[in-house]
Structures are given as C-alpha cells and as structure tokens.
Structure 1
Amino acid sequence: MNDEFNIISKSYGIQSIAPGVQRILLIHPRLRRGRFFDLNPARAKLQLEEAVALVNTLPNFKVMETTAVSTDRSTKKKRLWGSGRIQRIIALKEKISATALMIDVDILSPKQQAELTSIFRTPIYDRYNIVLLIFKIFAKTKEAKLQIQLAEIPYIRQRLLSMYELHVDPSLLHLDTSEKSKTERLEVLRYREQHLRKCLKAAVEEKVNLRIGEAQKNIRTVVAVVGYTNAGKSSLIKRLTGRNLYVEDRLFATLDTSLHVFRLPSGLPILFADTIGFISNLPTQLLASFQATLNHVANADLLLHVEDVSNPDYLTQRNVVMKTLSALKVRNELLKSVIRVGNKIDKLCRLPPNEPNTYFVSCADGRGFVELLAAVDKRVLTISGVTIRRLKLRPHSEAFSYLCKYSFLVGQPIPSEDNNYLLCNVVMDDNEFSKFRANFSFSKI
C-alpha cells in the first residue's frame, strides 16, 4: 500500500510542482464590484507584502516582481482575467524572465490551475501549496512531519478527482496517467489518511506524557498561546519561562504545539501551549490537518492572543485569528475570555488605544510583563477554583509528604523561627482541602 501511495504522491503531491530555483511573478487579484474595489490601496499593499514574505520564506524562491490585477466579482472564474489582462501578465512574465507565477488566492481549483498553466506555460502556485511547501521544508519534529503528510492528502485527492470528474488533461499538470481506477486510488488515500491520523494521535499523546511527567500531573490549567504567524508567540513563552525555544523571524517558524511548565507569581503551576500561527486566505481544511496538536487550543482553560501591534494591519490579523479559531470549533466562552497581548511595542512611538483585557508588552526588552503576568495569575486562580492557603507542618510529617507527592506545594517552604515547622503555601480547591483536613492534623495560620 505504501508503494502505491508513493506513486500517487509523486504525481499528485506537492513535491511534483517544486523543482529547482524559481523566479516568481506574484499577482494579487484585486476584486472589483461595479465601480468599487473590495480593498483599499493600503490593505492591498499589506496583503501583497505578506504574500511576498510567504514566497520568500522558501529556499530558492525569490519574488522578482509584484502586481495587483483587477478581476470582476470573483476569483473562482476559470481564467480569473480577460484576454487583455492575461496578455499584460504574459508580457510582464517575459520581461522579468519569471519561471513561475504565484496567484495570491487561498486555493486555485485544479481546473483553474490547469487553465493557467496552459496559458502561462509555467508552474502556478497559490497560498495553499506555498504554505504546504513551507511546512514540508521546515517540519523538524515527528508530529510536525506527520501533520504535513496529513495536510497533503486533501490536496492530492482534489487533484486526483479533477482528472476524472473535470476532464482535466493530465499532461497539463504533469499527472500520472496509469490505468489504476479512481476507486483504487481513493482507497489508497483513505488508508493512508487513516494510518497518519493514528500515528499522529500516538505521537502527540507520547509527547504530552513525556513533557508533563508524573510529578507534574497535578497541573490543572492550560494556557494556549495563539496568534497570527510571526506575531511573537514563541518569543513570549521564551521570555516568560526562560526556556531555550527556537525563535526565528520568519513565517511559520513554529509548526507544532510545544508545552512548557511555568509557575505564576502566586506559585500556581500552569502549562503554556505554543501553537502554529494563523494566516489570512488559507483554507481551513489545511489547518484541520493540525487538529491533533491544535486540541491544546480547543481544550485550553485560557487563551493568550499575541498580536504584532507594530503591524498597521494588526486588527485585520486579529479578525483572521478569531475567525480561524471559530472555524476550528473553539468554544465561545473561551473566545470571549481571551487575554490579548499587544507585542512589539518597542517598534512603536506610541501605544495603540487601550482595550479591555489587553496588555502591551515587548518580548525584546521585557516591558509590560509584570502587568501581564498579574492578569494571567488572577484569571487562572479564578478559572481553576483554587485558593492559596498557608499551612504550618512538621518537615517529615505524612501531611508534608502528601503535599509534595501530589504537587500541592507552591514555592519553597519557609522554616519557622524555632526550625521545628515549615510554613507552606499550598494550592487546593475546597474539596481537596476538605479531604486533606479530614486525613491530617495541621495548624492553619
């Protein structure tokens, strides 16, 4: 079955459209409705810049020229543009010696891709396959690689179905023309997808168990850190925890969820979950392949939404993130209670307007972290329903051993003046405290 999948993948998969160095002409279809465009010039410029950053993230890919070309009402038309505009694009392509085109839309249909490939006689990219290429090249961990393989299955399936159902000429997209039936090929894909999901689930569970460990299973609160790609999520966690996280100034530097134990100022232990960044105009079926690791977001107790407030379009990026989280079925109460973190204030001359539940920080110089941590601590204490209590215990008592074993202690115990007791801060909810009080004799101070 693996050999059969490899044959299908070689023909229909993402690697079949990415050979060698590419000189890219990037085209942003600018939608027009009547006399009006959907985007103002500033917004169109920012979207173009983001698309350029996406393409240039790939080794051996370089955007040589960008242009916005208006199109009427929809990007779903077979050719996207009329003959006059197509001829102008061809002339520009030849002028700069472009070897490939990137059309700045979420995903082109196989029929569109075949039609445009036939017209321009070069490889045609969209955001979907550019992002898939980025994922494939930069995935390092076991679960990230499994996620990328899973994300590619819908892409392969769509191209496969197009050959049978839309009567696309296989030679235009360099597709396999062997005699295997559609049903046989789809069954190979179904089996492969099922196998990858099982492997990914096992890999994620193994990673979580290793990270948390037996001594830390009493951690009751998960804080998921979400945001637009390159907003500074990993930098935030690195600054908070002091861990040696991989941080790079490029899109999609984080491709899987990583978990990091952290003690809040109150002493309460939590787990920070770092996640893959989101981006505009990206099909949700691509992120759906990351559902196994994004479960840390869906099941989190609190969301920290990191925003790059130095980006003029950060409010649009905010909407993209929130819509993506909704599409991933994150529950409404979690979305409503989000704490926003306005990052990169070191790049601003003045702060943006104040908003409820928003804290401005700089991961570069540490500004704003005291206030942010205090807010997170207060919220986590409320969510978890626990209380910080102070107990006076003998050092070698069964009660003290119990607190250590089940991770109820927060901070270091302080010896009493006569050194016969330890003053212990413990974190328990009311039920846990009642159980403890029923089993052990102690003094409360």
Structure 2
Amino acid sequence: MSFDDDLLGEVSRGAKALVICPDIRGQAYDLDAENRLREAEGLALAIGIEIEDSFVLPVREVRPNLLFGAGQVENVRIACEQNEAELVVVDGALSPIQQRNLEEKLGRKVIDRTGLILEIFGERAATAEGRLQVELAHLDYQQSRLVRSWTHLERQRGGFGFLGGPGETQIEADRRMIRQRMGRLRKELEQVRKTRGLHRERRERAPWPVVALVGYTNAGKSTLFNRLTGAEVMAEDLLFATLDPTMRAISLPGVEKAILSDTVGFISDLPTQLVAAFRATLEEVTAADVICHVRDISNSSAEAQKTQVLRVLKDLDVIDGEDGTSSIPILEVWNKWDLLDGEKAYELGQLADNSEDIIRISAMTGEGVPELLAQLGEMLTAKASVREFEVPASDGRRIAWLHAHGEVLVEEDAGEGASGPLRRFVVRLNPKELGQFESL
C-alpha cells in the first residue's frame, strides 16, 4: 500500500499492522491498558488485519500535533520497519492533524479506533437502515479529514472575466457535496425509522412476548441465539459479529411462542459518529418483555463490561438513573462457564447460587441452557393470571386464539346462551395476552 494512495480508502484485508494502545496519564478508562490492547487487537482481527506486533504506549503528556512524543513516534517507525507493517492502528481518537502528521512521520497509513470501528460496521451492516447509518457516520468522520487527501489541489477560480474572484477550493466543494449527501441520508433514515416504528407497534399488538439478548461484544449472544433457535446467524470469535437485529420464534415452558431478538454488541468508547446509529439499533430492546444480559464471565474485564452495558441500558431509559431499578426484568446469563478454572468457578458459583437473576451456561456446549429456558418461561408467566370466559361455540376465531396463546386449563360446555351453545374456558393469560383477547 503506497502512502500516496487515497488515504480515505478502505483498510485492506490482510494488511500487516502494528496495534498501539495509548495509555494517557490522568485519563479515566473503562478497561485497564492490557484489556484495552486486547480489545483493539480483536477489532483489528475483525476486519481481517494481520497483527505483526502490538503494545501499550504510555503517554505522559498529549502532544497536540502527534499525540505521542517525538522519540515514541521514531520507535514506532522503527517497529514498523522491523515488522514490515504497512498500517498503524491507534486505539484512541486522533484529530485530523494528529493523523496526518503521524502518517507523514511514519510513512504509513494510520487509522484510529473510530475509523477502525467504522470499517467494521461498514463491512457488516446488512439491512438498509444499517447501511444508511454507517454511511452517514462515515461521511461525518471524513468531512473533517478531507484536508488529508486534497491539500495538493490548488484553489479553483470562479466567476467570469475580471470580476472572477477566488472560487471555492476542491476541499470546500467536497465538503459541500458531503453535507448534501448527509442531508439526503438523514431524510432516508427518518423514513426507515418511521417504517420500523410501525413494525414495532404491530409487534406490540401481537400477543407473543419478546426476549432481547444484550451484552458486550463477543460475549456469545449469537452463539446462544443459534442454539436456542436453530438459526445460523453469524457467530464467530470476532468483535461485532452481529450488527443488525435478528428475530426468531422460540418455545418456552408455559409459553407456546416467544420472539427472541439478537442485538448488536456493546463496546466501550463507541465513536461519537456511531452513537446515534447504535442507539437506534438498540431501540428494539425497549419493547422487550425480558432482557437477557449475556456476559462472558471468563473475561477478566467482565465487571467493567457489565458496567458499560448497564450504562447503555440507562441511556435507553430501561434502567432508572436514581435507584438502578429496571422497567424491564433483566436476567444475567453467565456464558462461557466451561472456560472457568475450578477456583474461579467455585467463587462465582457461590454468587450465582444466591441470586434468582443469574443463570450459568455455556452456549457452545449447551450446559445450563435447559435451566435458562425454564427461568425465561417463569419470568414471562410470572404475571399471568387464571381467568374464566364463556365463548359462543360458534366463535371459532376466539376459541382458536385461546388455544394458541393461553394455557387452557379447562374447556367444557356451558349451556345455552342468547346466540346459541356456549363453551366455558379457564385459561392462564399474562396481562399482554389478556388485553389482546379482550380486544378481539
């Protein structure tokens, strides 16, 4: 890859890279330096980059023009030469000036955490809305970095004859085109969101409860989703393997049909350009009847990851900021239990045994999955009540509905009514199903 190539082009799959995790003195991080470095490596691998070397680089004082000190930059350049790296990944936010100066000093393409996550989202987004959101985020990110690829162009002249003053530069023209494109994308997104809102309203009117899987990226949500539904959603040991919400029907004890929703994985320090797209994708969670918080309990940063997930749920108003209570029941699913050693498994097992809101599983082996299904069935039927109805025997639609959506405990003749024979039903229904039946 030549340094003179289009610096805004996509990151090449298979590119040899150096991954650097800046550790800035005095800055608060969700994860410690080593775990942030591992996460950065995971992001790079998710886009097909070959990591030649990776390390944490302490930063005592941020340099506005380079981020790092001159000596550190020279050491990075030497490491690039030794490893024949053509790309440098910096796990942090670089200003356009810092990115340009680093590329000039290193003679290589440099991409920061924001650019890397945007690359992943751009490759993985499958739905129309996902692609629109990612393109909008890309344009927002790029418009401040146009100077990097257009500084070689001279100012174009505008106007006519002697009255022609200096016209707009190429960079100004490009920024104008980007703003226009962003305006069109926002209009398209608004229309898509309206359509999605209508679909959500239709689902809310349906009697089937919704279970949403949420969790930090790579916690195993898609593996669990596939095990519970028999689907073949992309489930790999990659960060952001799932970007677009996926829904499938499942059966649970006491619940003939429920909808299981797989969502995008959460991550710390999400690029600001993607926050709106990320939140919009997660709006589906707010309509769930139960939230399954899937955690990689074998990860050394499991607690920090949990904090990040709860922070996003709080932003979505699922969790109350004052007392931490949730408007939607949350079940913690401790996944990858099979990867724990004996001592750690014993310690965590003590905690899990003392909580009704924790289930231990391995989505890979299936361990604990029957207990998870039983617990979900209990949670979805906890508010169910036994009700009695008399329905005309000729009203096949309402009778079929009761059998399809409720737990029919008794069905028998109830004599004659004004319109003919009646059938008596004793049925267990949850509040949502009861409302649906009464509106038939």
Q: For each residue in 1:27-49, what CA deviation from the matched residue of structure 2 results, as whole angstroms up to 9, or x when unmatched?
A: 1112234xxx9789x94323222
Partner of 1:112: 98
Relative to structure 1, is the Cα distance of residues 19 and 291 closer, same or farther in structure 2, using a 3 angstrom cutoff? same
The whole-number CA distance in structure 1 between the counterparts of 2:139 and 2:286 is 23
Q: Contact conserved, 2:16 with 2:52, CA < 8 A, in 1? A: yes
Correspondence 1:404 to 2:391: no
Q: Give the drift of 1:254.
A: 0.8
For 1:88, the aligned partner's letter is N
Q: Which residue of 2 aligns with 1:380?
A: 380
Q: Paired residue for 1:91?
A: 78
Percent of aligned pairs with the same amino acid: 27
Distance 1:434 1:291 in 2: 29
The residue that corresponds to 2:268 in the other structure is 280
SS in 2 for 1:259: strand
Give the drift of 1:343.
0.5
1:300 Cα offset (Å): 2.8
Q: Secondary structure at the match of 1:229?
A: coil
Q: Tell me, yes or no, if structure 1 residue 50 matches structure 2 residue 39.
A: yes
Which digits, 9 at most, give the CA deviation of each residue in 1:262-300, with x for residues without a partner? 333112643222100112232244132133331102333
Helix, strand or coil at the partner of 1:262: strand
2:161 alignment partner in structure 1: none
Report deviation, 1:71: 0.1
Instruction: State the partner residue of 2:126.
Output: 140
Superposition deviation, residue 197 in structure 1: 0.9
Q: Relative to structure 1, is the Cα distance of residues 334 and 407 closer, same or farther in structure 2, using a 3 angstrom cutoff?
A: farther
2:252 matches 1:264 = yes
Gaps of at least 5 residues in structure 2 are 154-167, 413-421
Q: Secondary structure at the match of 1:373?
A: helix
**Distance in 2 separating the partners of 1:331 and 1:54:** 28
Quote the Cα distance in structure 2 between the aligned partners of 1:246 and 1:183.
36
TM-score by length of 2: 0.77
Is contact 2:297–2:337 with CA below 8 Å preserved after alignment?
Answer: yes
CA distance in 2, matches of 1:32, 1:316: 20
Matched, 1:32 2:28: no
The verdict on how the C-alpha distance between 1:93 and 1:431 changes in structure 2, with shifts beyond 3 A counting, is: closer
Residues 259, 284 of structure 1: alpha-carbon distance in 2 compared, 3 angstrom cutoff: farther
Maintained 8 Å contact 2:406/2:433: no
Aligned counterparts, 1:143-182, within 5 A: 143-160=129-146, 163=147, 170-171=150-151, 178=170, 180-181=172-173
Q: Per-residue displacement from partner, 1:167-225 (whole Å, max 9, x unpaired)?
A: x784499xx96164587346414423323313532664587699x6xxx9532533221
2:249–2:258 contact (8 Å) kept in structure 1: yes
The answer for the alignment partner of 2:277 in structure 1 is: 289
| Deviation sequence 1:68-113 (CA, Å, 0-9, x none) | 1110255x743122122222111111111111100111x2221221
Q: Give the structure 2 partner of residue 354 of structure 1.
A: 351
Offset from partner CA, 1:117-175 (integer Å, 9 cap, x none): 22212111112111111222233333332332233232133335xx4xxxx784499xx
Instruction: Choose which of 4, 11, 22 in structure 2 pairs with 1:18.
Output: 11
Count, aligned residues: 402
Partner of 1:319: 307
